[in-house]
Structure 1
Amino acid sequence: MERFGLNTEEGGAPMSNPYDLLEQQEDMEYGPERVGVTEEAVRLADLSGDGQASYDARMALMETAAMSGQSEKLFPAFAWCQHYAAQHPDEVDDHTLAWHHKWVLSAAHQFPQFPLSRIHELHGSYAQYARKLGAGARSSAYLQMKLAMHMGDPAAAQPAFNVWQVAKEDMLSDCSACEAQARAEYHVLMGDDGPCIKQGQLILKKKMSCGEIPHLTYGTLLQPLLRQGQRDLALQYAVKGRELVEGAPDFLSTQAEHLEFLALTDMSTGLEWYARHLPWAEQTRERRSQMDYHRAAALLFSRLEEEAVTLALSPEAEGWQQSGKYPVSGRLESHLAKARALATQFDKRNGTPHYTQKLARTLGTTGEVGL
């Protein structure tokens, strides 16, 4: 049976046991096919009437979706699992559910239609849940800091950062690599290139790693290194970083960081990188990552001197031309309009001018780009 890459039982019949599919998806790379297999497991579990299987399948779906750039799928699955856990407290692992709660909090950053008031409610319920499990204040402060960083609010980020730094590690703390990366990103928000670079290089020197590190680290360091005149080192990090994130659907924002860097250093490679990752940038529902890509693409096309460029775009790409020739002005206008619209939506939701200002800083406040 060829459906989402599903294996079949002996004799060609499709799998009917959701746990068989859950086992199968664990051996797959994160991405649309794995999401499809896990969603099929949810469907089969629901049809079976086995509540525990439905819970387990949705927990697996949340992990797969979060790691596959489809975090919009976390919200209904998490709500279902919360309801099930309340009715069957002896059948669920509270610690694992709390970790999925953390993923939901991070996922909410991606969607400007998700009300800020609801995000604060979710933070409050997470803090209560963490205390119930006997965890300290560390992870709650960490998540509050990450929210403030997303909003571009240094005044709110700093006190949360201070609490996070002194609170003891506990069962809900992120891994040491992710926490080290968060420190580097915090310094970016605060405008401190030196501490950011120092923190990032510490991650690389110690070879700290997890599923996202050092992938994110290389992208984070590129602009601070350029601003501090360390172009050669930035070029080295760019090559290493691109190898780690190329084609990965969960790293669209990092791919955008590399695109922005290439727009400033190597536009030929930048055009290839742009074409390589444009399909997912157009398809994804993760709006913050999509905004990041449109902003970087607008920078790329704003710096091109040619009237038209040749691009190997997928036929599914918006505005695809069989000739492969694309007017630079049209690409610039399209990406700029989308980046501006999304920045406006996020700033309205967050109550800050952060993303509109970031777009202006990236492109420069020139009449040429209409800012």
Structure 2
Amino acid sequence: MDYLNALEEAWGMDDNAEKVKLLEQAIASADMYNDVESAVEARELLIETCLTAGFPKKQLKAFSWLVKKWEDDNSSVDTFDLLWNYKWISEQIATFDEISKTQINRLLEDMKLKFELQNYSLRPYYKVCTLDAMWMGEVEKAKQFFVKWNNTEADHLNDCLACETCSQASYYYFIKDYEKAKETATPIINGKLACAEVPHYTYGEMALVYLELGDAEMAQECFDKGYPLVEKQSALIQPLSCLLKYLVKTNQTEKAREVIDAHLEIVLQAESGMERLLFLQAAYPLFDREKEADLVEMTEALTAKFDVRNGNSYYQDSLNAY
């Protein structure tokens, strides 16, 4: 069957839109032929691919199918793989403005229950709760979950040390403890810790951290090293947005406009509302209020939409302060 050849071909491809399309075709055919084993394999590969290629909605759709299949018959989906993927999905769920707080909380509770029933540590659960609280601008809630995250013993479902460290540094940046963010991220900045997406994510926030601490040389170094890693990468709009914000804050207007022009189309096509919001807010001070009125309006509308969902004014406050 052609879909089996397509699935085999996908394993040898780079993570990009073409691979995603091929996997979606394989999934459709496997479902049509009721080939559960291939349908599971294709969806698990799609989830992994979307993490790099930048299609979080497709990732969420594939994961939802796997969860239902596991709940109906857990012999068809590997439990460890499902729970591992649960971390990725839960960590990003709050970045969709169309998903309510009730739905987010329901997903997180389901993750907790599944981890508990399989006797795994809740450390990953507390981590994603921290990160989702950060996405939603809930400072006190993030602080509470951060303590639980770091006080809970790890097991085989824990993230690698580089990812853990990157997320911890991000938390300290979020609560504006810049000295602690710098201290935490130092092994990454020094090249002693790395993985598939680290230091890609770290450089963006650290450029802003060093700027806040008055170390202009290190801030610029973070930009110079970080930008080539995230340039035109649709899955790395978040750190790109931090680097753009750094350029605007340091009055590197010409370079900032270059970054905006090179990435605006990618950003506007992003499936995650949060990715669009972060980039648009970073670019907001440079938008021409007449010629780019649509972008100004889009930024303000998306800011309001997330704040209404979150029940606070975190993103409006961020925009006002910037």
**Common fold, TM-score beyond 0.5?**
yes
Q: In structure 1, what is the equivalent of residue 265 of structure 2?
A: 279
Task: Confirm or deny that 1:159 pairs with 2:119.
Answer: no
Q: CA contact under 8 A between 1:242 and 1:258: conserved in structure 2? A: yes
Does 2:318 align with 1:358?
yes
Residues 18 and 57, structure 1, Cα contact 8 Å, conserved in 2 = no
Which position in structure 2 is the counterpart of 1:139?
124
Contact 1:138 1:168 (8 Å CA) reproduced = yes
Match of 2:277 in 1: 291
Distance 2:286 2:206 in 1: 19
Aligned length: 321
Q: 1:50 and 1:27 mapped to 2: Cα distance? A: 21
1:196 aligned residue = 181
Identity %: 26
**Superposition pairs of residues 88-107 of structure 1, within 5 angstroms:** 88-107=73-92
Compute the displacement of 1:157 (Å).
Answer: 1.1
Whether the aligned pair in 2 keeps the contact of 1:219 and 1:257 (CA below 8 Å) is: yes
User: What residue in structure 2 maps to residue 13 of structure 1?
Assistant: none
**Amino acid paired to 1:351:** G
TM-score, normalised to structure 1's length?
0.82
Give ranges in structure 1 of 5+ residues lacking alignment: 1-15, 302-327, 363-371
CA deviations over 1:45-87 (Å, ceiling 9, x no partner): 1222212211221222222223222101123222221222223
Partner Cα distance (2:271, 2:205) in 1: 23
Residue by residue over 1:246-297, the C-alpha shift from the partner in whole angstroms, topping out at 9 and shown as x without a partner, is: 1111001111111111223322222221111111111112110001111112
SS at match of 1:329: coil
Q: Secondary structure at the match of 2:98?
A: coil
Residues 1:280 and 1:197: Cα distance change in structure 2 (over 3 Å)? same
Give, in whole Å, the separation in 2 of the partners of 1:22 and 1:156: 42
**What letter matches 2:233 in structure 1?**
A
Counterpart CA distance in 1 for 2:128 and 2:91 is: 8
> Which of 63, 69, 79 is the aligned partner of 2:64?
79
Q: Max radius of gyration: which structure?
A: 1
Structural RMSD (CA): 1.6
Q: Deviations over 1:215-248 (max 9, x none)?
A: 0000011112112111111111101000111111
- In 2, Cα distance between the equivalents of 1:336 and 1:197? 33
1:139 to partner: Cα distance: 1.1
Q: CA deviation at 1:206?
A: 4.8
Unaligned stretches of 5+ residues in structure 2: none
Deviations 1:98-122 (A, max 9, x none): 1222222123122111011111111
C-alpha deviation, 1:96, in angstroms: 0.4
Given that residues 295 and 336 in structure 1 are in contact (C-alpha distance below 8 angstroms), is that contact kept between their aligned partners in structure 2?
Answer: no
Deviation at 1:158, TM superposition (A): 1.4
- Which aligned segments of 4 or more residues in structure 1 are displaced greater than 4 angstroms? none
Distance 1:214 1:92, change over 3 A: same
Summarize the Cα distance change of 1:130–1:94 in structure 2 as closer, same or farther, 3 Å threshold.
Answer: same
Corresponding position of 1:116: 101
TM-score, length basis structure 2: 0.94
Q: For residue 330 of structure 1, give the secondary structure of its aligned residue in structure 2.
A: coil
